[in-house]
């Protein structure tokens, strides 16, 4: 199974991490060993509402 996390400038990092953490644990805890994901954005870097920068894996 594959999924994409879509991030954008101005979003709160809590909105991203709140979904990213439990879903990626499906793989790290061995429930879905084939689970894979990309962090996608329209730009090469994304800054949250406080300036924290995130580097997406796919643009």
Residue 43 confidence (pLDDT): 96
Residues ≥6 apart with Cβ < 8 Å to 11: 46, 48, 49
In a domain, 59, yes or no: no
Percent of the chain with pLDDT over 70: 100
In a domain, 6, yes or no: yes
> Which domain does 25 fall in, by range?
2-54
Residue-wise pLDDT for 3-13, tens only, equals 999 999 999 99
Predicted TM-score (pTM) of the model is: 0.84
Residue 51 confidence (pLDDT): 95
Residue 33 confidence (pLDDT): 94
In a domain, 50, yes or no: yes
Positive or negative: CA dihedral 14, 15, 18, 20: negative
Q: 21 — phi, psi (to 5°)?
A: -60, -55
């Amino acid at each position: 199974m594959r999924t994409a996390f879509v991030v954008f400038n101005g979003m709160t990092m809590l909105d991203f991490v709140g979904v990213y953490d439990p879903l990626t644990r499906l793989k790290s805890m061995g429930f879905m060993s084939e689970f894979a994901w990309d962090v996608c954005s329209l730009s090469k870097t994304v800054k949250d509402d406080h300036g924290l920068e995130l580097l997406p894996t796919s643009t």
